[in-house]
Structures are given as C-alpha cells and as structure tokens.
Structure 1
C-alpha cells in the first residue's frame, strides 16, 4: 500500500466500521468521547454497530472536547476534567474565548468552583448562569442581546462545566445540569493529557503535534511538552501508540460502505487534506452552514448526504462527487432509519 492508502486503511479498521463489536462501550471512539451535536451520536453508532442500543447510564453527556457536547463512558468522566484541564494560562485564555484576563488558570478555577457551589441539584442552564454571573470576575461576563442580560461568556461557561462536576440530564430536552455521582474537586493542574494524546493517535493516527493540538484546541508547544515518551515514530512527523504499530503495518482492506453523519469521529481527524484531497470537495464535506454527512466507500469520502423525515420515513438525498451506484447505500439508509426509530428509508 502507498502511504496514504495505509493510513486510510488503518483508520477505517481503528474506527471499527466492520460492526464486529456488539458492546458500544468497547468502541474506540469513546476513548476520546463521541460528539453528540445535532443528533450526531446515534448515526455514528449505526455506522459501527449492527444494532444500536439505547445509551443508558453507562454513558454520560456533557460539554468536554472543544466545548462541544460529547458522550463518554461514565466510568471515564471523573478523571476527564483533569485530563482536559488547560495546559497553561495562555491555553486557558484561548479556550475561554480570549477574555481580557492574563491568569487564565486562576480565573477558570474560580468560575468552575463557583459553578460547583451553585449547582447542587438539577438546574437549567439559564438558572445556573444567572446565579453564577455575580460570583465571577466581570472580565468573563458580557451583555447578551438575545437574552437581554449580562451573563458569563458562553465559552467560559462551557469550559467550566466539566471541572465543576456537572453532566446533562439526558431525559430533558433543554440543557439541565445534574451533579456527577462521583463529583471531584476542581482540578489544580492538568493530569493525564498524555493519555488523550495516545487515544487520539490510536484512532486518528499516525499524526503529529499540530493535528493533536488542533483537535483539542491547545497550543502546539504545550502538546509537544506533554507528548508521551512511549509513542513510536512511523515517519518524521507522525507517531502511533506502540500497541497499534502492528495494526498499521498490515491493515485490512477498507471494504465498507457507510453513511457518516456530520461530526462523525472519522471526519473529526484534523488532517482533512489527507481524508479529502480535493479542496472543493472539502468545502462540501465540512460546510460551515448546513452541515452534511459523508459518503464513505472503501475508506474514501466520495460525496455528501442530507436527510429529512417524512412521516415515518427517512428521505436521504445523496450528492456523490463521482459516478456511484446509489443503491449501494440503501441498506445503510435503512439501518439509519431504524436507529432513529423510523419505519423505512428512501434514497435519491
């Protein structure tokens, strides 16, 4: 295999698109967390599991990586706050949306500690924000035109939720916070970020400092300083965990056809030029507005798709980049419909 072909084949296998795994907790995507924005988690699981079970209490939903809602194994969440804690003051300020502060870590710790004290039981985001705002430095608050009120800046609020020990109530339609069962104190420092680096490389590797930094919104120099010593270089600028090198050297042929949702973990790797070499096609796959899913054929992203519900049916519109037999996606559309609780699907 050529270098790019080998990387693609490795990643398809690492993402477990072969559907041989039956327990969702054993999916490697949960090592980093499964993003669940715009109902993206269920179709991502449908691409990897033969049957998608309900995501029960074994999984926790909260704001984590890049301030986005992710589902994590519940047992992983208590330690995750320290793993995702900013790596320095500049990192903290950047992740908070660059408010006019210099001691980013101290300010974030104050906000998270205050939020932890405020939310002692189920509480809506609006109520939590209203109670939190007068307790934090004014530099991290601002006037919100849509709310007609001054409150904590949204990036600051999102960044503070996990270290405050909060999760979402999955049974509520809006954002309702619930304290974690194993709630810990606000972290004093980052601990265990190297493990997240290893998880990223295991799923999205081989990769280097820049890709990992972009994924976690962290400074490259801090990522480099936290780089684990036991990683194996497979090229001048790319590493893998030692236990994944053999899988990279001899990956299976990536013979899969999938309808990947927008924000699928496969699409969240930060070397987009490798995944989709054509610049115009990249613009379609990673649209800023009106996100679309990706047509995955044997490891290659060969088009986009959109879906809407019509009664009990899922209508899937395909937009391939090259000539394709669209019927090859019929079974995947049916799987996606069932995972979303619909009776049938239609492609076109």
Structure 2
C-alpha cells in the first residue's frame, strides 16, 4: 500500500482520537501506550484534548518509556508493568544508558540490577517518600557498581535511569502534581502480570498511534534495543510506502489509513503530546525553521493543531488568575477556533481566559 503525508497525519489525528466527542478513560486509546505527564498541564490536558475528563483516582503514573512519567489506567497497572519491562539484558542496558557499563564490569546483569533496585525501593517506601530521600536510602543499601558521581547534585547516588525504571519494576507509582516527585507503593501490588493484552504492548501501540513508522523510528521512540524490537516485531505489521519511504502499519489499520476522516478540529497540544512525539518530525513539520521553533533544545512551546497540520505554536502567559496565549501562527487558523480552545484551557486550569498576545 502507498500513502501520502496527508493521509498519514489525518490517520494519526483519528487514531489518537483528537477528533472525537467526549468519552471515558476506558475508551482512550492513548492510555494503552501511556500519556506523558510532563509540563504544567501534562497528561490530563492531553486526555482532555481527546474528550476525556479523567481523574487521577482512575489513573496511575509510572516512569516508563524513555524514563519519562506516563499515565495509564490504574486497572491496567500490572499488565503495563509487564509490557514496558526490558525485553532482554541488552534492552535493559540500552535503557539505562552508561549505567550498564560498571554493572556489567562487576558481572551484574542490567535486567537483574533493575529488579534488585526495584525490590529495594519498594522495601524502603513503606509510606510515601520524596525522591531524594528514597535515592539516598537506596544508595546506602546498594553496592558501588550501582552508583555514579552526579556533578549537578555534588553527590554519589544511583543512576537516574536505573532509579526511574527500577521504581516501576518495584511497583512504585508517582503521586500526581508533586515536585520534587513523591513515590508510593502501588496498592495490592503482586508484580507484573503474566499476560498482557496486545493493545498494551508498546511496539503495537506505537505502530497503531504513530504509524506508519519505520523500525528505527519505533526503536527510538521506545528507547529500546533494535535487535529486541526486530525480534518482537508484530507478525501482522505490513509494509506501507509513504512518499517514497518504507514504513509499517498494523494490518487492521490499513482501511483507516486509506480514507481517514477530514474533520477540521483545532487543538492546543501540550509540548509533549503524543501527536508531537513521533520520530519522523520532518513528516509532521516539513519546514526546518518551524521544526526548530517547535522543538528547541530548551523550553518547548505547545503546538496548534488545525485539521491535520501543525499550524503554529503557543505559550501560556499567566498573570494572577488570568491566562493569555502567546500565539505564533504559521498558517491561517480562525480566531474563533483558537479562542475557543483558549477558553477550554483556562477552564481546565481554573482561571479566566484573557485572550492572545
């Protein structure tokens, strides 16, 4: 099958449910892959953009893909823990970056190291505990190969990625809206599930929600070992040529790709919304100068989605109980459409919308 850039972007808008009416968290497909909870609006705003008025009571925040905090359905937590676990020792080594070198030099399997750290963290966290205190306690209970000198902290402690991924392995969740992060035990935790429903498997989720994609793009999005991604590649993934590029999509999604809806929705996407997280940025935003503006090294803005295109950027400007939007448009978007979304964001934050700057 062949597909155009327009078909791909329209498909993603629809697959990620950015074009739908209000629904429930049970019906939010992005929660299968996890909704990154980064930034002032985070996961709840990403879900609101998909018609879901979610409550933290129904969700759980875990450090998972790329070591970032992601929200999932609380009912899925055991299956999610199994689905996001490293697929092999090499995969664990890839995910914990340079922390794998001293561990392997000491004869410690990186995957076993995560289990060790996880069980130690859970043992310590008998009640909610701030990240720094937990890190200090775990460092005291582990040996030198687990540690590294941290220049910003001016101290020796666990590698950041070992700490983050170990927390999920050990059955710890993040308390919402805490800074610095507070961790607590997942209630009634019995370890990762023995079975995982297919939709929760990250490779399938990436192909469904960010496809069509190449294996390299999926690997980079998951921050996994390429050999393991290749070994776990779904048997029902089929080839799709996108403007001359060889990509893949789940067979069940081909019909949706061939004729996706054309609803002209407008959304104020947060900086880490899933729609912006694909590794084919030049497909999403072909112009290099616009890509630089949307994905700077520091301080990402939000993106204005209009139809299937990223039509500009936005930043919140707050003063007291008033929220204004600093808007930089690249393409025409009706003023009323932006203001409507600004009103929605202000209501979400519990403030008054003060227009655009």
Could you say which residue in structure 2 is the equivalent of 1:247? 256
User: Which secondary structure state, in structure 1, belongs to the residue aligned with residue 248 of structure 2?
Assistant: strand
Q: Is the 8 A contact 1:78 1:182 kept in 2?
A: no
Residues 193/244 of structure 1: CA separation in 2 closer, same or farther (3 Å cut): closer
Where does structure 2 lack aligned partners over 5 or more consecutive residues?
none
SS at match of 1:202: helix
Q: 2:311 aligns with which of 302, 308, 312?
A: 302
Q: CA deviation at 1:257?
A: 1.4
Indicate the residue corresponding to 1:5 in structure 2. Answer: 6
Q: Tell me the matched-pair count.
A: 346
Shift of 1:344: 2.1
How far 1:324 sits from its partner (Å)? 4.8
Aligned partner of 2:74 in structure 1 is: 74
What is the SS of the residue equivalent to 1:229?
coil
Coordinate RMSD, CA, aligned: 2.5
Between the aligned partners of 1:23 and 1:346, the Cα distance in structure 2 is 30
Deviates more, 1:338-347 or 1:93-102: 93-102
Q: Does 1:177 align with 2:183?
A: yes
Instruction: For 1:89-238, list aligned pairs within 5 A.
Output: 89-99=89-99, 100=101, 101-102=103-104, 103-170=109-176, 172-185=178-191, 195-235=201-241, 237-238=246-247
Q: Which residue is 2:284 aligned to?
A: 275
Matches of 1:128 and 1:203 in 2, distance apart? 35
Distance 1:27 1:187 in 2: 21
Q: Deviations over 1:219-277 (max 9, x none)?
A: 22210110121233334832222332221122111411121110011101121111011
Question: Using a 3 Å threshold, how does the CA distance of structure 1 residues 32 and 194 change in structure 2: closer, same or farther?
Answer: closer
Matched, 1:38 2:39: yes
Name which of 308, 314, 320 aligns with 1:311: 320
Give how far 1:319 is off.
0.9
**Match of residue 18 from structure 2:** 17
Query: In 2, distance between residues paired with 1:231 and 1:78?
Result: 26
Q: Conserved in 1, the CA contact under 8 Å of 2:303 and 2:311?
A: yes
Q: Residue by residue, what CA displacement relative to the aligned partner does 1:44-89 show, whole Å, maximum 9, x if unpaired? A: 233222xx63523210012111111111101111122222122222
Q: For residues 89 and 253 of structure 1, what CA distance do their matches in structure 2 show?
A: 44
Is the contact made by 1:313 and 1:346 (CA closer than 8 Å) also made in structure 2?
no
State the secondary structure of the residue aligned to 1:162: helix
Higher deviation after alignment, 4-13 or 21-30: 21-30
Which residue pairs with 1:336 in the alignment? 345
Gapped regions of structure 1 (runs ≥ 5): none
SS where residue 237 of structure 1 aligns?
A: strand
* Cα deviation code 1:295-321 (max 9, x no counterpart): 111111121111121122111011112
Measured at CA, do residues 191 and 108 of structure 1 come closer, stay the same or move farther in structure 2, by a change above 3 Å?
farther
**CA distance change for structure 1 residues 195 and 172 in 2, over 3 Å: closer, same or farther?**
closer
Asked whether the 8 Å contact 2:11–2:257 carries over to 1, the reply is: yes
Aligned to 2:50: 48
Aligned mates of 2:316, 2:324 — CA distance in 1 = 5
Indicate if the aligned counterparts of 1:83 and 1:192 stay in contact, CA closer than 8 A: no
